[in-house]
């Protein structure tokens, strides 16, 4: 006898896998809980900037000297970063750029990423930064080039 084409197909429930049934989807987290990580990160960075803004890195004895500068006389890409942060806290963008222009760019990139993270967290979406290896190589090349230029006579304007 042929099966009736008008009859509804009966499907059996899917058998559980070797580890049991799949877990239920995660429940939506409340907004305050979603914002804890970005706001905590922002609070930590704000506290660090407040400290550097209060304790002047231009006065000797407050912070350790860069070991690369101390032992070789070469400015690393981070040399002048604390003085740059101090100037940013006090609203002196010219002095910040003079101390470490690359650090000022980094502060701007950090601010943009923080705003995106806060917006995504408020909307209940996760924040995941996946940077391709070519970008990491590009960042490394920029750091090496910045270090090289700031230590040569014609790049003295980039030295702290």
Specify the pLDDT at position 30: 75
Specify the pLDDT at position 57: 93
Specify the pLDDT at position 128: 84
| Count of Cβ atoms closer than 10 Å to residue 155 Cβ | 15
In this structure, are residues 78 and 57 in contact, taking their beta carbons and an 8 Å threshold?
A: no
From residue 75, give the alpha-carbon distance in Å to each of 34, 94, 137, 153: 41, 20, 21, 13
pLDDT profile of the chain (160 residues), mean per 10: 56 59 66 87 96 92 89 92 95 94 95 93 86 94 94 88
User: What does the alpha-carbon distance between residue 112 and residue 127 come to, in Å, rounded to a whole number?
Assistant: 13
Nearest to 78 by CA among 142, 147, 154, 135: 147
Show the CA angle centred on residue 108, arms to residues 53 and 59, nearest 5°.
25
Nearest to 93 by CA among 104, 103, 102: 104
């Amino acid at each position: 006898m042929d099966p009736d084409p008008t009859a509804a197909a009966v499907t059996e429930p899917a058998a559980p896998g070797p580890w049991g049934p799949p877990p239920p989807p995660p429940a939506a987290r409340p907004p305050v809980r979603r914002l804890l990580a970005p706001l905590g990160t922002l609070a930590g960075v704000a506290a660090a900037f407040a400290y550097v803004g209060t304790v002047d890195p231009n006065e000797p004895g407050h912070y350790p000297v860069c070991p690369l500068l101390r032992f070789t006389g070469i400015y690393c890409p981070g040399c002048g970063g604390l003085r740059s942060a101090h100037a940013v806290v006090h609203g002196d963008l010219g002095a910040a750029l003079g101390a470490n222009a690359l650090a000022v760019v980094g502060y701007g990139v950090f601010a943009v990423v923080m705003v995106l993270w806060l917006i995504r967290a408020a909307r209940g979406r996760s924040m995941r930064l996946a940077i391709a290896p070519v970008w990491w190589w590009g960042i490394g090349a920029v750091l090496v080039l910045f270090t090289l230029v700031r230590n040569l006579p014609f790049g003295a304007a980039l030295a702290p």
